[in-house]
Structure 1
Amino acid sequence: MKISRELDAFQARIGHTFKRPDLLVRAMTHSSIASDTRPDNQRLEFLGDRVLGLVMAEVLMSGDRAAAEGQLAPRFNAMVRKETCAEVARSIDLGAVLKLGKSEQVTGGRRKMALLGDAMEALIAAVYVDGGLEASRGLVLRLWGDLIDNVEDDARDAKTTLQEWAQGRKMKPPVYEVLHRSGPDHAPVFRIAARLEDGRTGEGQAASKRNAEQAAAKALLDKVSDD
């Protein structure tokens, strides 16, 4: 099967040349453009999630042989969550080669976190089916390398850490308030405040409510870290 020039260049970016190019085409095909003769990437996404989990668990365990499960689990979660998969997808400009229906193209599908994360998982599965576990492990190590090297000892998300901090001081859980929403529907920007019952607040801004809440929680944690 002959692939487009764009997909051929994409193979070079990820460091894997497919023996079965149809797998790459399928991994990049969103359900919005799928048909009976053009299957989407959902089954590959299902497999890729599991392959990524296995590879990442092995990498984190071998990288820190003294770490307890309580340290490894939050690191693992930070590396395999959809937001991280989307971040990696952006680093290789995966959105440029996604095959999308017109509705998704119009609404900015090439930049959507969920679509990018799903396609990244599908790509991992496509490499796994095409070249085996070693090929998929090599892909993950190449693309996640800096993220793995810099994963924090305690990678629990900021909201969880802030809630535990408040509970440890007999406070009510922090509350989150949307202060402002701007931008078009396909590329919104949220500004959110995290507030403790004693009045201390932190603010964060991001393209999703979840990430803006995380940013706000981190800002508040920075304020109360000396307490």
Structure 2
Amino acid sequence: MTAPHPFIAPAREHATILADWLRNSVAAPHPDLGRRGAICPFIEPALDAAALRAYTYPLPAGNPPQVPELVAMLGRAREVFADLPHPERPGAHAALIVLLPDLTPSQWPLVDRVHAAAKNDFVERGLMLGQFHPDCRAPAVHNPSFPVNRSPIPLLAIRRMRPHDLRFLHTDPDWFAHYAQRFGHLYTDHPGTNANPLAGLYHATAARPRTRHDHPEGEAQ
């Protein structure tokens, strides 16, 4: 399958490393995660449904990569993601992974800065953007001392917002507002009988004054 501009198909070595990490790390439990189950329980169904697509973004030669360039690249990646087929199988959700293997170790923090610069726009559109690299410090939700977003290759991942993303979006009032627009009915339609395990967090966040907080995110969002 031809990769859409400006992306290319991952090198075989990178594709093998990515597949192994997704299947054997992200889709598996970890003793430091702070909860039971896989780091991301949606990865295995997505892999089985062939719902994940990965491309490489080759960095232009000659100039060090800059945040605006990579944010613009994510805009194109978002368009590519919108054209992906979305599986109907329960629990299988499409995702687009953009590999950045040309980044040197000193450039890995650029992934975090690009994520921070682009996240608001993605959330506003009902999308989630995750950042991963070998030295990523984003913590797990249930264990802040566990840097859960570490990957063997620097990458950014795009997927649709899901109800469980409240755990990643409740710390920022704008993020929460976009989440509530899409999923608030899950918590308010039947408040007296609501068995949603996130209901307490949702209502506590909705009642909180609109102030911004630091919001490191992790856990394979």
TM-score, structure 1 length as denominator?
Answer: 0.28
Structure with greater Cα Rg: 1
Q: Which has the higher helix share?
A: 1
